[in-house]
Every structure is written in C-alpha cells, then in structure tokens.
C-alpha cells in the first residue's frame, strides 16, 4: 500500500483528482453551511482542500505519508491558496491544537483502520479534535460478512501530466477471521511520457457489516444521525445498508440519539 502513496504518489493524485465542487457544497450543508475549520484524517494529496478554501474553510489534514502531504501543500501553493494545516500522523493516533467544526473521511479511507481497536482509537482522536455537537461525515461501504462482495470493479480514466491513466479498483481475497479484504488497484498509463507503464498495488481493507459498525459507534463518543447513498440521497438506517456502495454516515459528537438530535444541532 505504501508504494502507491509514497513512490507513486503522482499516480494516486491523478487517479483520485476530479471536480469535487458539488460534493463539497453538499458537505458544507451537512456541516451547517459556514464551518471555519474542518478535519480530514487520511487527507492524502489534499484533493478537497482547494474547494473548501474557496469557501473560506480551512481543512486540517492528517496523513501518515509525508509525500502525500507534500503533494497537498504543493497543490494549494500552485493555486495561490493559503498554506494548509497539515500533520504527519497515523489515523488512530493524532492530536491537533484547536477544536474543529466538523470532520470528514471520504471514499472508504476508514477501511484502512484494520482492527476494532484502531477504529475505536481513531474515533476517540477525531472526537477530541471537535467541538461538542460537531458532525463527522464518514463515507464507508457497509457489507455482509457472509457475502462481502464489493460489487463489480470500479473503472474510470483520468488525465495527468504524464498521460491518460486507466484506473481499476476491485475486491480480492477475503479473510473471514480478520474481516480483511485485499483490494487490488491497477493503473495503466495509456499515452504520454510513461505510456505502457502499469502500476498494481494491494490494499488490506477492513470489511464492516451493520452489526459491527453500530457496535463500534455505540462504544464511541458519536451517534449516527443519518445515512446517504453515493449520490447523497437519504437512506434508512439499519441492516438494509449492507450492499450500499459509498454510503455517507453522518455521526454527531456527544449526541444522545437520533430522536433527540435537535438538541445537538
């Protein structure tokens, strides 16, 4: 995994950089419209940072890869935007100096937390970084542990200074004991200076079903208030979320239950 995010950071940066303005607008609505500072654990190369900055929102980025943080810093500088607040740290072991107005963790990044302990520690770290009542938006597939198929491979093409890249991401071998699936990414450069190059990486990702996910949240300082599908339409909370791709989970800090959510807004 680290080879993609270190040695071949340019591949990741190209593969996962697209127009995020609509997504950022929706996230801002969920955060109440005008947050001053948001936290993104596992921020990678900072693909969301410019869009938030253009709304006057500072995105505090946490990532274990210095190379990816350097990409994020360079991205902002090239656009003439303020230098981002970045910290090199693991997702399950970090602290920041000031309270944030919310946090986000998109595109299944939460799955890199491989164990219950790591996931619980991560939620504690995020909670310690937020003001009371703040929301944490986590985009994470909820799947059946009996049949954890992640659906058909995701395929798309993107452009980069090095050429057009054909991207594939798909599920692979699954270990029932650890609940870890080895996901496979493949990036083929179709033209340009690196035409013909193919980069393949393996990603151990934790599979969460509804029971494990709700048990984790119930033990955390958060409560789940809502869920949305990949198109950001509301979903009903419950086991029926298993099989929904790229579900957004809206968590709220120190809020008793969805029934009393108005007390925490």
Domain boundaries, the chain: 2-144+208-263, 154-206
Residue 261 CB: number of other CB atoms within 10 A?
Answer: 16
Give the pLDDT of residue 34. Answer: 83
* 32-60: average pLDDT: 94
- Which class does domain 2-144+208-263 fall in? alpha beta
Query: Which carries the bigger pLDDT value, residue 256 or residue 184?
Result: 184
Report the percent of the chain where pLDDT is more than 90.
75
pTM: 0.91
Give the pLDDT of residue 230. Answer: 87
* 126-130: average pLDDT: 97
List strand residue ranges (DSSP E) for the chain, in order: 37-41, 58-63, 85-88, 100-105, 130-139, 154-160, 163-170, 174-175, 180-189, 198-206, 222-228, 234-235, 248-253
Give the pLDDT of residue 259. Answer: 45
Give the pLDDT of residue 216. Answer: 98
d(CA 242, CA 247): 10
């Amino acid at each position: 995994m680290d080879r993609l995010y270190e040695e071949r950071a340019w591949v990741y940066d190209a593969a996962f950089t697209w127009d995020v303005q609509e997504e950022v607008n929706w996230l801002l609505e969920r955060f109440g419209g005008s947050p001053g500072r948001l936290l993104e654990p596992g921020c990678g190369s900072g693909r969301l940072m410019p869009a938030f900055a253009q709304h006057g929102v500072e995105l505090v980025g946490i990532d274990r890869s210095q190379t990816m943080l350097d990409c994020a810093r360079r991205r902002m500088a090239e656009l003439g935007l303020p230098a981002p607040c970045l910290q090199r740290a693991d997702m399950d072991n970090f602290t920041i100096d000031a309270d944030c107005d919310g946090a986000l963790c998109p595109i299944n990044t939460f799955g890199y937390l491989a164990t219950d302990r790591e996931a619980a520690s991560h939620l504690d770290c995020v909670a310690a970084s937020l003001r009371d009542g703040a929301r944490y938006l986590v985009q994470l597939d909820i799947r059946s542990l009996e049949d954890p198929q992640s659906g058909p491979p995701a395929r798309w093409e993107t452009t980069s200074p090095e050429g057009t890249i054909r991207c594939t991401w798909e599920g692979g071998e699954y270990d029932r004991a650890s609940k870890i699936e080895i996901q496979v990414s493949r990036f083929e450069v179709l033209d340009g200076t690196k035409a013909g190059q193919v980069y393949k990486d393996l990603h151990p990702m934790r599979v969460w079903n509804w029971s494990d996910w709700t048990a984790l949240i119930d033990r955390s300082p958060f409560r789940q208030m809502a869920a949305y599908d990949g198109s950001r339409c509301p979903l009903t909370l419950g086991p029926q979320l298993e099989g929904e791709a790229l579900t957004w989970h809206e968590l709220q800090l120190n809020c008793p239950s969805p029934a009393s959510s108005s007390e925490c807004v």
